[in-house]
Amino acid sequence: QQQVKQSPQSLIVQKGGISIINCAYENTAFDYFPWYQQFPGKGPALLIAIRPDVSEKKEGRFTISFNKSAKQFSLHIMDSQPGDSATYFCAARGGATNKLIFGTGTLLAVQP
């Protein structure tokens, strides 16, 4: 119940295309869903986050879509750029704690 399942494991997108990464969870107590971007040798950097009372959140080229009934959420990267090539992690957190449960990560390669 504590798992967050992430797919795909890797993704290749052409420059200017849309990158889509999906995550699913089981625990309905989760109430905060962030996405992190990680470059090699660096720590994860927060990209965007959403709460379950919102179905979509957009920040620049990054959009989270959230489906509470299906217990799924996804990250869309519009107009993907080579600089977006990194590993992306979804995560979930519940209640009065800062324990994040992470997905297994998606390695995104944007080809020029």
Partner 1 sequence: KAGVTQTPRYLIKTRGQQVTLSCSPISGHRSVSWYQQTPGQGLQFLFEYFSETQRNKGNFPGRFSGRQFSNSRSEMNVSTLELGDSALYLCASSLGGGFGNTIYFGEGSWLTVV
* Residue numbers at the binding site for partner 1 (CB under 8 A): 31-32, 34, 36, 42-46, 49, 51, 89, 91, 93-105
CA–CA gap between residue 49 and residue 33 (Å, rounded): 5
Q: How far is the CB of 53 from partner 1 (least distance, A)?
A: 11
Residue 66 CB, shortest distance to partner 1, in Å, is 15
Q: Is 15 or 42 the residue whose CB approaches partner 1 more closely?
A: 42
Q: How far is the CB of 47 from partner 1 (least distance, A)?
A: 11
| Residue 40: how many other CB atoms lie within 10 Å | 7
Q: Do residues 44 and 89 make contact, with C-beta atoms less than 8 angstroms apart?
A: yes
Q: Which amino acid is at 49?
A: A
